[in-house]
Amino acid sequence: MIYVEEEILGHPRTLQICERFPDAEVVPCARYGEVFLRKGQSFRLQKRRPSLILAKKQWGLVTEAPAGFGIPGARNLIVSHMQNCIYDCRYCFLQGMHRSAHYVVYVNYEDFLWEMEERLRGAAAGEVPWFFAGYDCDSLALEPVTRFAATVIPFFSRFPEAFLELRTKSTQVKALLELEALPNVIVAFSFTPAEVQRSLEHLTPPVDRRLRAMEKLQERGWRLGLRFDPVIYCEGYRGQYRRLFAQVFEHLACDSLHSVSLGPFRLPSGIFQGMERLYPDEPLLAGPLVETEGMMGYARELENEMQAFCTGELLRYVPCEILFPGLSALPSPPAPLPPAGEGPG
Ligand code: SF4
């Protein structure tokens, strides 16, 4: 079933997307919130069989990134064309954020581009604008359907002073391989060790398949990012991360990397409680976590120890200039503002 806002029933992008699902029933609705924000929905049941909702984004097309998020010294901005994710990572704040697991895609990309251009024209001298796509989703996982990246990337050839970061765990790079690589577009892939991927990142492609996708992009000259985010604790985490880094750098050349970052596992307490209700048997949520100033995460000593270990290991492969141990990797929910590390991509 595809729910479509009446206002965009005839939008060319709506028609293109619906064409991909010829057997799906199209159900018009006045506003997407009627479906997405309906009370009494079961996120967990919907996650097994989510519907697509096509809508027009009316406001908030480009928003300021939360403090501490993004590239230090840059103007960090969020562009979010989709809500929810086709993957199912147990540590992701999307699990506890919305009532619905349906996917909302905002089809009015031209309005996003207009707003982005407005921001660029209004930028102060010397300001470096960074746009982060995939605020509430994985940037590329649904690209064959949405074509968002394919639409937005050419915009950045007109504005070489601005940057775009796509954040993904997917292998959906075909659209990028069909485009010319741009030096101001960074395709950042998130990784946890294979053991963590298998147990917590449900439905995501395994580490080796993500690396193959990265290799293809590397061959075509795309600049890449590595996001080890969130860093997940278990007794054998040192060995797991050591093996992961060795595997990653067996496939990737340092000079194709734009940046490498590490992010701690932290969640706003309210979202964490919602996730506990959804998945009461999830060992991750019963792990050695503590609440600090409204955020759930590992105790500061453990977090520091893991960051220090991973930083030391990564410095065996990459120069410190491109390593950002404390870079907020993630966008966060609107309110309360989220943490780095447990989110999209
Ligand atoms: S962490 Fe990223 S890939 Fe995983 S469910 Fe969240 S948005 Fe999707």
Reduce the secondary structure of 139-203 to three states and give it as a string.
Answer: CCCCHHHHCHHHHHHHHHHHCCCCEEEEEECCCCCHHHHCCCCCCCEEEEEECCCHHHHHHHEEC
Q: How many Å lie between the centroid of ligand 1 and the Cα of residue 67?
A: 21
96 in contact with ligand 1, CB cutoff 6 A: no
Beta strands (DSSP E) in the chain are 2-5, 26-29, 52-55, 62-64, 75-79, 82-83, 88-89, 103-106, 129-133, 163-168, 185-190, 201-202, 223-231, 257-264, 266-268, 289-292, 295-298, 323-324
The tokens for 307 are: 């960051």
Q: How many CB atoms lie within 10 A of CB 287?
A: 12
Comparing 65-74, 293-302, 330-339, the range with the smallest average pLDDT is 330-339
Contact call for residues 4 and 52 (beta carbons, < 8 A): no
Closest residue by CA, ligand 1 atom 3: 345
Distance, CA of 150 to CA of 167 (rounded, Å): 14
Residue 261 has pLDDT above 60, yes or no: yes
Contact call for residues 233 and 58 (beta carbons, < 8 A): no
- pLDDT category at 66 given cuts 50, 70, 90 is confident
Distance, CA of 214 to CA of 252 (rounded, Å): 8
Q: How many Å lie between the centroid of ligand 1 and the Cα of residue 10?
A: 31
Residue 310 has pLDDT above 60, yes or no: yes
Distance, CA of 13 to CA of 19 (rounded, Å): 10
Q: How many Å lie between the centroid of ligand 1 and the Cα of residue 26?
A: 27
For residues 48-70, average pLDDT: 91
- pLDDT category at 71 given cuts 50, 70, 90 is confident
93 in contact with ligand 1, CB cutoff 6 A: no
138 in contact with ligand 1, CB cutoff 6 A: yes
pLDDT of res. 248: 98
Between residues 134 and 161, which one has the greater pLDDT? 161
pLDDT of res. 326: 63
Q: How many Å lie between the centroid of ligand 1 and the Cα of residue 187?
A: 15
Between residues 171 and 74, which one has the greater pLDDT? 171
87 in contact with ligand 1, CB cutoff 6 A: yes
92 in contact with ligand 1, CB cutoff 6 A: yes
94 in contact with ligand 1, CB cutoff 6 A: yes
Residue 175 has pLDDT above 90, yes or no: yes
Mutate to test the pocket of ligand 1, among 87, 98, 229 (most ligand atoms within 8 A of CB): 87
pLDDT of res. 72: 80
Which ligand 1 atom sits closest to the C-alpha of 85? Answer: 8
201: number of CA atoms within 13 Å, CB side? 25
- pLDDT category at 341 given cuts 50, 70, 90 is very low
Contact call for residues 162 and 152 (beta carbons, < 8 A): no
Q: How many Å lie between the centroid of ligand 1 and the Cα of residue 244?
A: 19
Helix (H, G, I), strand (E, B) or coil at 3: strand
pLDDT of res. 333: 38
Cα–Cα distance list, 178 to 144, 165, 172, 255 (Å): 13, 18, 12, 22
Residue 344 has pLDDT above 70, yes or no: no
331 in contact with ligand 1, CB cutoff 6 A: no
Question: For all residues of the chain together, what is the average pLDDT?
Answer: 91
Which ligand 1 atom sits closest to the C-alpha of 91? Answer: 1
342 in contact with ligand 1, CB cutoff 6 A: no
pTM: 0.93
Q: What is the amino acid identity at position 274? A: G
140 in contact with ligand 1, CB cutoff 6 A: no
pLDDT of res. 198: 96
The tokens for 103 are: 């996917």
In the chain, what percentage of residues exceed pLDDT 70? 94
227 in contact with ligand 1, CB cutoff 6 A: no
Residue 331 has pLDDT above 70, yes or no: no
Between residues 172 and 42, which one has the greater pLDDT? 172
Q: What is the amino acid identity at position 218? A: Q
97 in contact with ligand 1, CB cutoff 6 A: no
**b/e string for 103-119 if b means 16 or more Cβ within 10 A?**
bbbbbbbeebbebbeeb
Which ligand 1 atom sits closest to the C-alpha of 138? Answer: 7
pLDDT of res. 299: 95
Distance, CA of 285 to CA of 291 (rounded, Å): 12
Which ligand 1 atom sits closest to the C-alpha of 169? Answer: 3
